[in-house]
Amino acid sequence: MQTSDRSGIICDACGLCNSNDFTYYSFDFRPIADNRVFSLDMKHSISIVSSVDICSSCYSIMSQQVIEHYKKLMSSKRSARHPQICELTGRPIVSNYYYCTVIKVDVLMTGQPNICVSCQKKTFDVSQPCQCGNVNFIRPALINTITRFLEFDVCADAFQEICKKSEAVRVNTTKWTTQS
């Protein structure tokens, strides 16, 4: 989730506030009904029902879970017919589930110029008023985005857990910590 002053991102999993230069991951969830398997085009045509922003540390934990469950599913000891599994929990998916697309976003603010909100002139010195006399500046970030960085299936229980954790973080705004 973006901070109220738009200067950074708050992790929806742990509440860490990242500002200046950082990487975060946006998890977009689309509902898939009746345990059906759709083509990627069909999955991407379904509307996103929830989106959460995750910091690099939380992403590492979640991606390791996905890797471990995928390894087990694809191991040589697996049965010939394997069920569709939740790639976060490793449990079989037996009904509705969610298709998750992860987008990686690198944000760089160091070295970016400030822009006068009145005349749009760029400057690196905000200690002095702009030539137009205005003292309000914004500093847009340089952003690099990798869409479809990771894609996986999530059971309804795991999706609900992610949503509950995200809501708890958003409610406890006074308990956030900051990392610059």
- In this structure, is residue 16 part of a structural domain? yes
More confident residue, 137 or 104: 104
Q: In this structure, is residue 124 part of a structural domain?
A: no
User: Which of 148 and 176 is assigned the larger pLDDT?
Assistant: 148
**73-81 long-range CB contacts below 8 Å, 24 or more apart?**
none
Lowest mean pLDDT segment, chosen from 24-38, 70-84, 121-135, 158-172: 70-84
Is 115 within a domain?
no
Q: What is the mean pLDDT of residues 144-151?
A: 88
Q: How confident is the model at residue 29 (pLDDT cuts 50, 70, 90)?
A: very high
Domain that holds residue 96: 8-109+142-179
- Let me know if 106 is exposed, middle or buried by CB neighbors in 10 A (0-12, 13-18, 19+): middle
**Based on the structure, what is the number of domains in the chain?**
1
- Residue 175 placed within a domain: yes
Kindly report the pTM of this predicted structure. Answer: 0.77
Phi, psi for residue 90 in degrees, rounded to 5: 85, 0
| 117 in a structural domain | no
pLDDT band at 179 (very low <50, low <70, confident <90, very high): very low
The verdict on residue 130 lying in a domain is: no
**87 found inside a domain:** yes
Separation of CA 29 from chain center? 11
Task: Please indicate, yes or no, if residue 18 is contained in any of the structural domains.
Answer: yes
At 52 the three-state DSSP class reads strand
Q: Which of 141, 116, 111, 112 is nearest to 126 (CA)?
A: 116
The DSSP code for 42 is H
